[in-house]
Structure 1
Amino acid sequence: MPRQVDQAERREVMSEAVWRVVSERGLERLTLRAVAAAAGCTTGMVTHYFRDKKALLTHARSVMHRRMADRIDALPAHGTARDMLHSVAEQALPLDAERRLETVVWAHFQLSTRIDPDLLHQHTVSHAFWVRRLTGLVRDALPGPEPQDLEWRVQILVACLDGLAINAVTDPGAYPPELQRQVLATQLDLILQPSEGTRAS
């Protein structure tokens, strides 16, 4: 009896093919034919699951965000609140081959949102979820009562992670994994300082 095709698995394979094409050739050269070649299937097979390039791109982006969320959910819950914040924030840095690929593709997707309202909406939703997750972790890791500038501190962390990730894939020799971790640790020291009103005199 022939093996039943797992449609979710087939879609995921095609999404991974999208990432490879975008990473190697850029978003402007992403075509259904190129994705089919990278996935080892026919163009007709791709169009069977995705009606057009837009649908393929949207699904590939959602899979990328889901995988990152799955990695975070699988992190062991031990150590201090700061340790957990550090571990979660690291998932946004290109510290290994999987995350380097994700960062390159994410950068291409970011640029595409400027001219595509649907992709912009998808980005806005996923980014808001990421900010909420970090906000909770920063709140837990801060000493004393919640500061009035909590939102500002999280914005600084997000900007640091985004800029560090882009620089690390653009010039990996200048931003090796150990340096990325050191920069993150330094940034956490800065944003987790107690507010002036809560510091001991």
Structure 2
Amino acid sequence: MQPEELESRRQGVARVAAELIAREGLEAATVRRIAAELGCSTTMITHYFNDKEEVLLLAYQHIAQQGADRVQDALRRHPDDLAEVMVSMAAVGAEALSRWRVYLAFRERASYDTVFAAEQRRWVEHTLDTVTELVRGRCREEDSARETAQLLIALVHGIALQTLFDPDLWPEAAIRAALHSQVRHLLSD
């Protein structure tokens, strides 16, 4: 099997695992359940992965990359609109809500699993670097760019968490309004 085909199959398993986690939670993502979702045997899963932990890690990387791709798309469409870039990170739309359900499941896991904690830190650091670059030169004091980026990311995370529990409290319009308001506030002179 060619390396590209192998990676494609591994990504397919990761995608299905992430979808299962989004629907039913991390505990539902057993090798047996993932295989059933794929319509294959558990042997097929164990052929491509050393263990369930490897499947879960790739599932997290899969959704984290989707989130990063969404941010890059927003940067292309709105290069000068930091608020819209922040909206692209938020739990806006069905796909983003699913992704945030998976993020939340893995955040709990990262609280006691060093491998998942390191992976989460890596993706958060990547996002923080991206937002810091967007903020640099636009906030009140140059040395506060990273702090401002941290505040904006924390706001997105907090709203996303609340949206998962109470979507009526945070419809898309409210999320957009809050992020636009806070970007204006944090970047005002």
Structure 1 length as normaliser, TM-score? 0.84
Work out which of the residue numbers 93, 111, 121 in structure 1 matches 2:90.
93
Q: For 1:146-165, what aligned pairs fall within 5 Å after superposition?
A: 146-165=141-160
Written as runs of structure 1 = structure 2, the 5 A alignment for 1:24-173 is 24-75=23-74, 77=76, 81=80, 83=81, 85-140=82-137, 142=138, 146-173=141-168
1:87-109, CA deviations, whole angstroms, 9 ceiling, x for partnerless residues? 32122112111111000000010
SS of residue matched to 1:154: helix
Task: Compare CA radii of gyration and give the structure with the larger one.
Answer: 1
Amino acid at match of 1:43: T
Is the 8 Å Cα contact of residues 90 and 160 (structure 2) preserved in structure 1?
A: yes
Aligned length: 186
Residue type of the alignment partner of 2:62: V
Amino acid at match of 1:166: L
CA separation of 1:191 and 1:32: change in aligned 2, threshold 3 A? same
Gaps of 5+ in 1: 195-201
Corresponding residue for residue 6 of structure 1? 5
Measured against aligned partners, the alpha-carbon deviations of 1:65-108 in whole angstroms (never above 9, x if no partner) come to: 21222233334646662x1x223212211211111100000001
Does the 8 Å CA contact 2:71/2:89 hold for their aligned counterparts?
Answer: no
The structure 1 residue matched to 2:175, chosen from 152, 173, 180, is 180
Counterpart residue type for residue 120 of structure 2? H
Distance 1:60 1:93 in 2: 19
The one-letter amino acid paired with 2:98 is L
Identity level (%): 26
User: Are the equivalent residues in 2 in contact too, given 1:31–1:53 (CA < 8 A)?
Assistant: yes
Q: What is the alpha-carbon root mean square deviation over aligned residues? A: 1.9
Tell me, in whole angstroms, the C-alpha distance in 1 between the residues paired with 2:77 and 2:34.
41
Query: Relative to structure 1, is the Cα distance of residues 127 and 80 closer, same or farther in structure 2, using a 3 angstrom cutoff?
Result: closer
| Higher helix fraction (1 or 2) | 2
1: CA distance, partners of 2:169 / 2:77: 32
- Identify if the C-alpha distance between structure 1 residues 74 and 155 changes in structure 2 by more than 3 Å, giving closer, same or farther: closer
1:25: Cα distance to partner? 2.3
SS in 2 for 1:173: coil
Say whether the 8 Å CA contact 2:90–2:96 is kept in structure 1: yes
Specify every segment of 5 or more residues in structure 2 that has no aligned partner in the other structure, as ranges.
none
Do 2:136 and 2:145's aligned partners in 1 also have CA atoms closer than 8 Å?
yes
Distance 1:191 1:133, change over 3 A: same
**Distance in 2 between residues matched to 1:79 and 1:26, nearest whole Å:** 34
